Structure 1
Amino acid sequence: MPETTRENLISGGWKDLEFGPFRDGVTIHWIKPFENDQPGVALLKYDAGAGVPRHRHEGLETILVLTGTQSDEAGDYGAGSYIVNAIGTEHSIWSDTGCVVLIQWDRPVTILEAE
């Protein structure tokens, strides 16, 4: 099984991991699924043009962009960007180019718009 160490992920080791369905155009590799009210940690891989509809953060969310560019209403975040979304904030996410992000959620988000 490929390693999920920081060094391996930053150097492209995520390419050797198995991703499964998450949302249309977005796949997921769980490093640590949500369990017993504990945070979840995963890699999300966005196809070019894919996104996640407007949603509200029910807990703290942190994101490290590993490759490509992830965007929201506040701007574009390229590889190496570290994003913190506080409890109660709302936004939608998209990637024009495609991207891979390392994400940690304290709690699942609430989708506010129909997909």
Structure 2
Amino acid sequence: MTEFQPLRMDRRLPCRVGPQDQHWQAAPQAPIRRWQLEREAPESGQVTSLVEYLPGARFPVHRHPAGEEILVLDGVFSDQSGDYPVGSYLRSPAGSEHAPFSQPGCLIFVKLNQFAGDDQATVRLTADSANSVIFCSSVSGSLLHQHGCERTWLLDCRAGAELRWQGDPAGELLVVSGCLAEAGQTHRAFSWLRDTRLGELGLRAAEPSRLLLKFGALRGLQEDPEQ
């Protein structure tokens, strides 16, 4: 058996993962599959991934030792607290538990065990319940969560919009839809970027785009033997 190695866990290093890098694996709880973007340990620890529930899929009840964060990208995600359509944003704090499922099937972006120790907020936002802020003529967005210096935004960018911010430039983003341009590279839907200089790179929307942006949250900068 091959010894497990952490996946992209050296957060000091720039990281770009795109649709061309898709590597879907069956989860122990079929019919669910996942595409892991970063992972600390085989079935525990910090992990960031895209997870697909096929119609009727159910996941057994499980606990979140250090929190769970979800953005619903397609379909309807459900648990005992309700049904959450596309655009829903969920945070479940450390020690919470649920038994998720999806009747029609769904695709979700998930971050596990990455909450600050004192962040105990439970969040259940749907696309029509988040307050939108207009930053300029080309960018608007909704602040989904804030804690300390951490901010999580869902941004809508017109074609040509440039993504920069003041303060600590470190961050990560998921291209929910559309396309970003970066120094000759293109990052299409479901591309995931992580960089300690993300806010300084001058990323531009090559077409109307929706982005999930997190900054102030790159904790655990550590060496990754895979890098």
| TM-score when normalising by structure 2 | 0.39
Q: What CA RMSD, in Å, does the superposition of the two structures yield over aligned residues?
A: 2.3
Equivalent of 1:40 in 38, 47, 57: 47
Query: Does 1:17 find its partner at 2:22?
Result: yes
- Amino acid across the alignment from 2:24: F
| Counterpart Cα distance in 1 of 2:45 and 2:100 | 24
Instruction: State the shift of 1:38 in Å.
Output: 6.2
Residue identity over aligned pairs, in percent, reads 30
Q: Bigger relative contact order, structure 1 or 2, given CA contacts below 8 A and separation 6+?
A: 1
Q: CA deviation at 1:18?
A: 2.8
Corresponding residue SS for 1:53: coil
CA distance in 2, matches of 1:84, 1:96: 21
- Give the deviation of 1:94 after TM superposition: 0.2
Gaps of 5+ in 2: 1-15, 115-227
Q: Does 1:28 align with 2:34?
A: yes
Structure with greater helix share of residues: 1
Deviations 1:52-94 (A, max 9, x none): 1111111111000000000000100111111001111111000
Give the aligned partner of residue 80 of structure 2.
73
Question: Secondary structure, in 3 states, of the residue corresponding to 2:59?
Answer: strand
How many pairs were matched up?
A: 96
Could you tell me the TM-score, scaled by structure 1's length?
A: 0.75
Deviations 1:21-56 (A, max 9, x none): 112100010011125x96210010000000111111
Alpha-carbon deviation of 1:17? 2.5
Matching of residues 57-96 of structure 1 within 5 Å: 57-96=64-103
Residues 25 and 33 in structure 2, CA contact (< 8 A), matched pair in contact too: yes
In the alignment, structure 1 residue 100 sits paired with structure 2 residue 107: yes
For structure 1, which runs of at least 5 residues remain unmatched after alignment? 4-12, 108-115
